[in-house]
Amino acid sequence: MFSAFIFSDEYNYSLEDLNSTSSSFGLNVWEPYYLDYITMHYFGSQG
């Protein structure tokens, strides 16, 4: 179990959805709102 903890590649974050046109606007994502989802995380920047 100790090894699994060290080598676990679990990710998580919980931040406010800032897109006013999104269905989860104002709520914290991806946890907990999308807990039962397969999530895809796209890293973008200005422009």
Partner 1 sequence: MSDFQDELRNDDGYENVVIIAIGQTNISSFNSNFCANSDLPLVMDQYPGLPIREQFSPYGQHKYLVILDYDGNMIGNVELTSGVSFSSKEYIRSILEDHYDQSILGDVNNDSTINIQDIILLVNLILVGDTQSNADMNADGIVNVLDIIQVVNIILS
The reply on whether position 4 binds partner 1 by CB under 8 A is no
Asked if 7 is part of the footprint of partner 1 (rule: CB under 8 A), the reply reads no
Q: Collapsing DSSP states into helix, strand and coil, what is residue 26?
A: coil
The DSSP bridge partners found for residue 28 are 16
Helix (H, G, I), strand (E, B) or coil at 30: strand
Which SS3 state, helix, strand or coil, does residue 28 take?
Answer: strand
Smaller CB separation from partner 1, 2 or 13: 13
Count of residues touching partner 1 (by CB under 8 A)? 33
Q: Is 32 in the site for partner 1 (CB under 8 A)?
A: no
| Interface contacts to partner 1, rule CB under 8 A | 8-13, 15-25, 29-30, 34-47
